Structures are given as structure tokens and as C-alpha cells.
Structure 1
Amino acid sequence: MPMTEAELVNVFRALADENRLTVVRSLAGRGEMCACQLLDGLDISQPTLSHHMRVLCDCGLVRCRRQGRWCYYSIDPRVAHGLSDFFGGIPEPGGDDRSTSRRCCE
């Protein structure tokens, strides 16, 4: 099922922060990670990381799994595929579809 406009907007807003983008790249490259592992790769405090993780979880891009007192984070594949589908639907520059490439003032 494609992502709604509201879902896309929330994910893009979340990714507009450099620290959150770094977190998402780390999770995409390593899979599930503990909050302490994420914190090691950033120059921020634990409360700041908690804020960023809440934003990423609230938009649905990241999932949180609690085990005891630790939080383990991972990318939600449904949302990741939704983003991939969104970008996959963008036509290649110079494509053959002339109906969308005509000049508006002709």
C-alpha cells in the first residue's frame, strides 16, 4: 500500500535533521542497534538522542524494541519500501514521455 501524503511529509520532516539522517543511515547499514551504539556515533547527549529517536519512531520510519532497560531500534521495512516506491515513481530525466515534458507556454 502506498504511503499517504501525510505519512511522506512526516518522514521527510524527520529526515530533515542531520542527526536523524545519520541515525537512519546507521540503522540502514547495520540493522538493529541499541541506543548506546547509536549514541557512540553521534556528538550529542543521551536526552537529545531520545528526542531524535522519538521523532523517528513517531513518523513510523524507525521501530523501537525494548528489552529490559535497553531500547533497540531498527528501520520499519514497510515505510522504507514506501519511500523507495515514492522515489521509484520519479521519471528519469530526458525520458520518452513527451506529454509531461512539453513547455507550459507554447
Structure 2
Amino acid sequence: MITPIEFFKSLADETRVRSMLLISTQGELCVCELMCALEESQPKISRHLAQLRSSGLLLDRRQGQWVYYRLNPNLPAWAREILQVASKANTDWLKDNAVRLQNMNERPVRALACC
């Protein structure tokens, strides 16, 4: 189980917190979607997602050439609530990211996960 210290340390970077808030509102996102939304390079996005995954905040799944990231369903309720409240309270801060994501051309098509 993740502790509050681990949780907040994991979010102590703008790229990681924006990624987490976008993923929490979208359900799941792939690296290319986060690259578009955050206007960052693939290595930078991948590095931060790897940190979030290794800390237990995110899980990933592979679908063809895409790797999708989603919140770990085993996150404690308090952590999910913090992400939900932070997302709702910071829509202006995330607005440009959300607009870029919404306007992204050729977004990957998700297949329904089997499990």
C-alpha cells in the first residue's frame, strides 16, 4: 500500500502531476497522447510514466504498438479522492492540455480490455 509520503513525492513534478490528473480524468492514456497534451518529448514522458508505474500509482497495458497507462485500481480511496478533487479544482490549469488532447489527430483506438 502506498503511503502519503510516497504518493506526494511521486507527484512532486509538473509533468507527473499533469499526467496523473489527465489520466485520472480520461481513464487511460498512451504515451503519444500525453506527448501531445503536454507538448513534451517521448523520452521525457516515458521516464515520468515509468516513475509513476514503479511507485504503484499507475498500471500499464499493451495493445499492439501502444502502451496505455491507467490509475492503479488498488490505490487507496484517499489517493483517488485527492486526484479527483485536484482535477476538478484545476480545470483552468489543465485546460490547454485537455484542449490539445481533444484536438489530437489520429489518436489511437482502444480495444476493450479483456480483464
Report the TM-score when normalising by structure 1.
0.67
RMSD: 2.0
Q: In proportion to residue count, which structure has more helix? A: 2
Specify which of 27, 32, 36 is matched with residue 40 of structure 1.
36
**What SS does structure 2 have at the residue aligned with 1:41?**
helix
Matches of residues 1-106 of structure 1 in structure 2 within 5 Å? 3=1, 7-84=3-80
Aligned length: 82
**What SS does structure 1 have at the residue aligned with 2:69?**
strand
Report the TM-score when normalising by structure 2.
0.63
- 1:68 Cα deviation from its structure 2 partner: 2.1
The whole-number CA distance in structure 2 between the counterparts of 1:11 and 1:32 is: 19
Please tell me whether Structure 1 or Structure 2 has the larger radius of gyration of its CA atoms: 1
The whole-number CA distance in structure 2 between the counterparts of 1:48 and 1:85 is: 27
Deviation per residue, 1:20-65 (Å, 9 max, x gap): 1000110111101121111111121100001000010011111110
Gaps of 5+ in 2: 83-115
Q: Which runs of 4+ in 1 moved over 4 A?
A: none
The whole-number CA distance in structure 2 between the counterparts of 1:73 and 1:67 is: 11
Gaps of 5+ in 1: 87-106
Identity between Structure 1 and Structure 2 (%): 35
